Amino acid sequence: LFLRYKNEMKEAYTMQNFDYQTPTRLIFGKGVISALPEVMKPLGQKILLTYGGGSIKKLGLYDKVKELLKEFEIYELADIQPNPKYNPSVLEGVRICKENEIEAILAVGGGSVLDCSKAIAAGAKYDGDPWDLISYKVKAQAALPIVDILTLAATGSEYDCGGVISRTETNDKIGYMDELLFPVCSILDPVYTFSVSKKQTAAGCADAMNHVMEQYFTEDTTLLNDGFCESMLKSLMVNAKKCLENPEDYTARAEMMLCCTYGCNGILSLGNSASGWPCHGIEHALSAYYDITHGEGLAMITPRWMKHILNDRTVGRFVKYGVNVFGIDSSLGQYEIADKAIEETYRFFESIGIPMHLREVGIDESRLSEMAHHVAVNEGLENAYAPLSESDILDILEASL
Ligand code: NZQ
Ligand code: ZN
């Protein structure tokens, strides 16, 4: 009976309308940084260069950028931390932009540097408290143009209009999106990711895989989108392993970088019904409360979330995932395939060295209820593909301990 009902529902499904544009120019490959002066020139003379804790100096990238832009007037914002902070980084960046009439931002680093730069770009053109924009109290009317040189394959921030900003005093970690914040141009040279540590390589892979899964596990999808997603998941798993074995494997780093770039700007789910991005909703609380690495938090949550939502309504998606991504024997029973697929997901994350228990990253049971409440109130997961109440969220967190 259930299956018949489900099939009738399927016939009634119509592909969702969409309005899609990603205006970002991608320049990809070895040595493409040479395009930087030409890219920056039309944007202005006064540039704010943003970066993190020093990896770009070790890479020689800082010197290279300064040399290529010697004709420009460069201001700097350094020390942007992972899980970038509103205070001081965003506020400080906005101050520098306003005081010096900055015309464009050049973000050099991983997702945290890019995300922070996006919030600065909007804040610089706004008269009030930039938190008004990040918290969606006010819609930005303008933003400074952003160019980035990506050094870590993970978030897809280089090809989307979102940034995730943490505000320590309120335990908020907010995903802030605005179409004004697409980078004008992203310079993607996989060679700059050779030095990424094993930990961050694995976390980046888990983050990008979860971006794909957040779009794959939903009610209505197309064969086309499912194919994109399944192929990306396979590519990420194969290439992450190669990058871990040989960090200077150019082809593996390059394919991983491109997968990550495609992961988060919605292109994988055009026409699909919305999923609600539940694992991200839950993970944001983990990294807001405990400042853990985003991709690691996602890897821990994902298989527990899968187990929690597996039921007669969702099992079909898990069967497709298990058969097409992990090559599980399609003649097995539905639940057997689904259980194996979830187990394979867990084992893969474990095999690339990700800690798979919250306790391993310093999270115990003491604040799980508080976090579950925070997620339930702020993330709207009661509308997700598999709706999650506060107690569902708590169960998933407890299972991840
Ligand atoms: O600070 P530095 O010295 O640069 O070191 C960084 C940092 O310690 C280091 N690193 C970066 N490139 C390197 C390198 N080390 C050696 N060699 C290199 N080439 O790696 C560490 C982590 O960097 P980070 O930028 O924090 O990592 P990631 O790119 O994973 O970004 C994570 C942030 O992005 C958000 C996450 O929530 C998190 O705050 N996300 C942003 C998204 C978006 N904009 O669309 C979507 C994601 O779902 C995610 O939420
Ligand atoms: Zn993510």
Q: Does the Cβ of 263 fall within 6 Å of ligand 1?
A: no
The Cβ of residue 314 has, within 10 Å, a number of other Cβ atoms equal to 17
Q: Could you give the residue ranges of the DSSP H alpha helices within 149-222?
A: 198-216
Give me the tens of pLDDT residue by residue for the chain, a chain 401 residues long: 233 334 444 556 789 999 999 999 999 999 999 999 999 999 999 999 999 999 999 999 999 999 999 999 999 999 999 999 999 999 999 999 999 999 999 999 999 999 999 999 999 999 999 999 999 999 999 999 999 999 999 999 999 999 999 998 888 899 999 999 999 999 999 999 999 999 999 999 999 999 999 999 999 999 999 999 999 999 999 999 999 999 999 999 999 999 999 999 999 999 999 999 999 999 999 999 999 999 999 999 999 999 999 999 999 999 999 999 999 999 999 999 999 999 999 999 999 999 999 999 999 999 999 999 999 999 999 999 999 999 999 999 999 99
With tokens 């945290």, the residue in question is 112
Look at residue 272 in the predicted model and tell me its pLDDT.
96
Residue nearest to atom 46 of ligand 1 (CA): 155
Q: How far apart are CA 278 and CA 74, in angstroms?
A: 40
Distance 72 CA to ligand 1 centre (A): 27
> What secondary structure letter does DSSP report for 104?
E
Q: What b/e readout covers 167-193, taking b as 16+ CB neighbours within 10 angstroms?
A: beeebbbbebebebbbbbbbbbbbbbb
With tokens 């704010």, the residue in question is 48
Q: Does the Cβ of 200 fall within 6 Å of ligand 1?
A: yes
Whether omega for the bond prior to residue 88 falls within 30 degrees of 0, making it cis, is: yes
Look at residue 14 in the predicted model and tell me its pLDDT.
85
Angle subtended at Cα 37 by Cα 31 and Cα 43, rounded to the nearest 5 degrees: 135
Q: How far apart are CA 198 and CA 3, in angstroms?
A: 44
Atom of ligand 1 nearest to the CA of 83: 39
Q: Does the Cβ of 118 fall within 6 Å of ligand 1?
A: no
Q: How far apart are CA 302 and CA 214, in angstroms?
A: 10
Q: Does the Cβ of 82 fall within 6 Å of ligand 1?
A: yes
Look at residue 13 in the predicted model and tell me its pLDDT.
72
Angle subtended at Cα 156 by Cα 204 and Cα 66, rounded to the nearest 5 degrees: 95
Ligand nearest to the backbone CA of 286: 1
Q: Does the Cβ of 278 fall within 6 Å of ligand 1?
A: no
Q: Do 344 and 322 meet the contact criterion of CB atoms below 8 Å apart?
A: yes
Look at residue 53 in the predicted model and tell me its pLDDT.
96
Q: Which two tokens stand for residue 337?
A: 């395939």
All residues at 6 or more sequence positions from 394 whose CB lies less than 8 Å from its CB, including other chains: 368, 369, 372
Read off φ and ψ for residue 45, nearest 5 degrees.
Answer: -100, -35
Name the pairing type of β-strands 104-109 and 146-150: parallel
Q: Does the Cβ of 232 fall within 6 Å of ligand 1?
A: no
Counting runs of H as helices and runs of E as strands, what totals does the chain give?
A: 16, 8
- Identify which of 155, 177, 201, 257 to mutate to test ligand 1's pocket (most ligand atoms within 8 A of the CB): 155
Look at residue 12 in the predicted model and tell me its pLDDT.
61
Distance 186 CA to ligand 2 centre (A): 18
- Identify which of 207, 209, 293 to mutate to test ligand 1's pocket (most ligand atoms within 8 A of the CB): 207
Q: How far apart are CA 55 and CA 109, in angstroms?
A: 8
- Identify which of 49, 50, 55 to mutate to test ligand 1's pocket (most ligand atoms within 8 A of the CB): 55
Look at residue 66 in the predicted model and tell me its pLDDT.
98
All residues at 6 or more sequence positions from 19 whose CB lies less than 8 Å from its CB, including other chains: none
**Amino acid making up residue 42:** P
CA 57 to chain centre: 24
Look at residue 302 in the predicted model and tell me its pLDDT.
98
The closest alpha carbon to 256, from 239, 268, 242, belongs to 239
The Cβ of residue 5 has, within 10 Å, a number of other Cβ atoms equal to 10
H or E element in which residue 289 lies? helix 278-290
Distance 5 CA to ligand 1 centre (A): 44
Ligand nearest to the backbone CA of 85: 1
